A and B are shown apart, each in its own frame.
Chain A
């Protein structure tokens, strides 16, 4: 995983838990240096509801965890490895 830069995660579907028992899943479209994330096509899941929110800014101080599907992470890794090999 050390191979991966922040850039490599752009476009990935991420799962972010934020304060107040909320899980957001969305496509990572941007991040700044403070890890304030900008997610698109966000779906919010709480104990009561599951709903779509569209484009959402997730400030770093609200983030409890950021997760990816193992398969998604693997494919990012594979892409990166191929890229690096091609450069060499």
Chain B
């Protein structure tokens, strides 16, 4: 009590305090109930985020600490014998180490995990007060080396790793609160300390353990693991870093230690009572509600392995041979399973560096240009013009400025690839506007070029527009991802399935047309070059022949390989597109069949009270409402389209039979396409295959994805059979006692849930 008075005294210095309690109470009593007294510029909304005194959910001062927690002393070496001290420190290090994964994997906060360790709090508090990079005040003084040297190493490496995660987090790729909580309670996590300072401290500790405590095997392993965690710092490409091979070594050590640690029997010795405590939340400045500390669950060393493997996966992108491979890497690496948050945060930073380089291989602009070259630009008039015109010509200047805009959108596309599942869908929602406006602008540019004669005919009345074509391809793909991801996220109710799948089908058709146009261009160009050779053979020796021969050679050396691989890549994209189209179509058929027997409707009449099915439909398509092409079909077009798929009397049974047969034949074709693609993925870079998938760096992930598509095909097939058996030759009016249920077959692709028919 006395000390509180002292504190108050210190606050008020010489100025006297005047009690206004009663005055304010009287004033408040005269206020009208509805009035809030506040400064005009203060938004009461901010007030909704306030803490609250004496509210157990919002007042960290109310946290109750045990006697052990209150009396815990970081400067005491707990344990009687050396042996017992080693056991205690091992237990503390083990819990601390596990806390890191509880923090990252269970989306916990630092104060409830790593910072709940009293030694971390104590040392980082000292460091924050006196941030000297030699760590002179940031230490323990128990008088025993196993604490003062070894435990200190564990704390330093742990905190250094927290700093590494903070750095990744600050780059703004993943989201605070959502993916990661990085609140360090105002503690400075060794910001001024170099990695070598921390790692050499750890080396000394490891030496000490080897020489004097040969039995402290587990402790040495934990410290080694923590040391390799800190070294993850070197993977962030801030400046010119060491070779990637060394970095990989760090992660391999991490995996090896974690594998050994998870096999060790649980220690019987517990951490000293009070060494882990929620107390930091009431001792330090804290703008967050109190939370209980989180105990490790036991799977933490497995989690370390997953994290390290996921980071290793990110580093593999280094080995990409083409932009298509980088692109496919991004598409697949986070697809079947959401990667570890640290790997997700690292990927875009590792790929797209601060110095505006992609993997130290391309500038942003070249990277963008290469996306076009490996698709539709190679072998076009525009490509030729860009090659022969001077760097400062209006054409090249304008093209480069477009590449800058493309880079900005691609940057978002790549960043989006490593977002969490929910953000991933929203990312496309945002991107669509960018792709759409880019398409509009670039089309104007290309029309202008065509008027100057820079154009590639695609047969009657049609031209390629290589830039627009690629942007449109990206836009359509983004639109389809946005729509289909909604199924995985359970965003659509069954009555919406028809609309969403029919729209996917519609988009896939446009995508197919677009890809076929590219295919036609590639075939034509390849044919033109081959024709040059024939022509050469017919020509007599002379200047004309020489000139033709040199252009032929140039084309064979510089264009042909790219044209051929573009052809095989587009062939792959076409196969993939056909799969999306077929699966969407089958879903459409299933819906139509079930609607034909009156068990489902594509309009939800419950909206009629305040809204209408049409308005709800329009809200669902808000994302696409502004897209110019492909044109968004009208509400009635959606409604009418369903009629075409429905089965009506007379001859219901015969027509139903025909529908079923059609579905089965489509699914059989789809299965063949998957087999073909999977085969191409397995063969990898084998030049002889008809497809190039660009997936050799993400082979397993790509195979897993197509395996899930195969499972979906099988599931759709067996659902078709079930519908066939259930409906058979019954009258379409006899299903009043049925309802639908949405099911997802095990390991099937989450984009294609099943509408199944069930007895009520």
Contact = CB atoms under 8 A, between A and B. Distances in A.
Interface stretch (B2-10, B458-466, B635-643): B2-10
Interface residues of B, number: 47
Given A6-B31, A33-B31, A58 B53 contact: yes
Nearest to B23: A1
Nearest to B12: A69
B527 interface: no
A50 B8 CA distance: 11
A57 B283 contact: no
A56 B285 contact: no
A69 B7 contact: no
B7 A23 contact: yes
Contact of A29 (B38, B58, B283, B284): B38
B42 interface: yes
Interface in B50-98: 50-55, 58, 61
Interface string A28-71: 01111111001000001111111111111111111111111111
Interface residues of A, number: 55
A82 interface: no
A69 B18 contact: yes
B20 A30 contact: no
B49 interface: yes
B36 A32 contact: yes
Given A21-B4, A51-B286, A67-B18, A56 B52 contact: yes
Nearest to A74: B18
A69 B284 CA distance: 26
Contacts of B42: 29-30
Contact of B20 (A1, A45, A60): A1
A50 B282 CA distance: 10
B537 interface: no
A38 to B, nearest CB: 5
Interface string A1-42: 100111101110011001111111100011111110010000
B19 interface: yes
B37 A31 contact: yes
Contacts of B44: 30
A60 B28 CA distance: 11
B400 to A, nearest CB: 48
A54 B54 CA distance: 16
Nearest to B283: A49
B1 interface: yes
Contacts of B385: none
Given A4-B23, A56-B50, A67-B19, A30 B7 contact: no
Residue from B18, B44, B58 with most neighbouring chain A CB atoms (10 Å): B18
B20 to A, nearest CB: 5
Interface in B1-50: 1, 3-4, 7-8, 11-12, 15-21, 23-25, 27-28, 31-39, 42, 44, 46-47, 49-50
A57 B21 contact: no
Contacts of A46: 4, 7, 61
B4 A23 contact: yes
A65 B53 contact: no
B287 interface: yes
Contacts of B35: 32-33
B26 to A, nearest CB: 9
A50 B286 CA distance: 11
A31 B46 CA distance: 14
A47 B7 contact: yes
A6 B4 contact: no
A24 B4 CA distance: 12
B498 to A, nearest CB: 49
A6 B28 contact: yes
A22 B42 CA distance: 26
Nearest to A29: B42
A58 B61 CA distance: 13
A67 B17 contact: yes
A67 B61 contact: no
A75 B84 CA distance: 64
B417 to A, nearest CB: 36
A69 B16 contact: yes
B39 A31 contact: no
Contacts of B19: 65-67
Contacts of A34: 28
B244 to A, nearest CB: 43
Given A19-B54, A53-B287, A29 B28 contact: no
Contacts of A48: 283
Nearest to A2: B23
B53 A70 contact: no
B36 A31 contact: yes
B54 A59 contact: yes
B3 A70 contact: no
A45 B28 contact: no
B24 A66 contact: yes
A60 to B, nearest CB: 8
A66 B27 CA distance: 13
A68 B20 contact: yes
7 smallest beta-carbon distances between A and B, as pairs? A54-B287, A30-B38, A52-B285, A33-B31, A35-B28, A67-B17, A57-B52
18 contacts: A5-B27, A6-B37, A21-B1, A22-B61, A30-B44, A32-B28, A32-B35, A38-B50, A46-B7, A51-B283, A51-B286, A52-B287, A54-B51, A57-B53, A67-B20, A68-B20, A69-B18, A70-B15
Interface of A: 1, 4-7, 9-11, 14-15, 18-25, 29-35, 38, 44-71, 73
Given A38-B47, A47-B1, 11 more contacts: A1-B20, A6-B28, A30-B37, A30-B42, A30-B44, A31-B24, A31-B37, A44-B61, A46-B61, A56-B51, A57-B52
